[in-house]
Amino acid sequence: MSRYFLAFDLGAESGRAMLGRLRGGVIDVQEVHRFANDAVRQNGSLQWDILRIWQEMRRALDLVTVPIESVGVDTWESTTRCSARTATCSRIRITIATRAPKG
């Protein structure tokens, strides 16, 4: 019996959905959907177009024809934020993981 998992990898310029299948202790992975991740200017700064990203994620979910046990989302927010006052820069990593309920 196979178990299926869907992972979203959101990068600075593109995103992709990967379907993992676990069978007999072996996992194999295939790309289900890939899409551009273009920034939009909002409130004077460049930001991710979160509504478009959500639409692309929904499209990937629609493309999967097997029951999925869980979904994971990984993203790297690579915008460097700098403070002239403290002369420091920081980068932020965001990871969201979900688990399917047992039962």
Both tokens assigned to 93: 């990593």
For 23-37, how does the pLDDT look when each residue is reduced to its tens digit (9 = 90+)? 999 999 999 999 999
Residue 99 CB partners (closer than 8 Å, separation 6+): 70
Domains of the chain: 3-97 (3.30.420.40)
pLDDT of residue 102: 53
For 4-16, how does the pLDDT look when each residue is reduced to its tens digit (9 = 90+)? 999 999 888 899 9
Q: Is the pTM of this model over 0.85?
A: no
For 47-98, how does the pLDDT look when each residue is reduced to its tens digit (9 = 90+)? 888 899 999 999 999 999 999 999 988 886 554 444 445 444 444 444 444 4
Look at the alpha carbons of 27, 32, 37, 43 in this order and tell me if their dihedral is positive or negative: negative
What is the rounded CA–CA span in Å between residue 18 and residue 20? 6
pLDDT of residue 95: 46
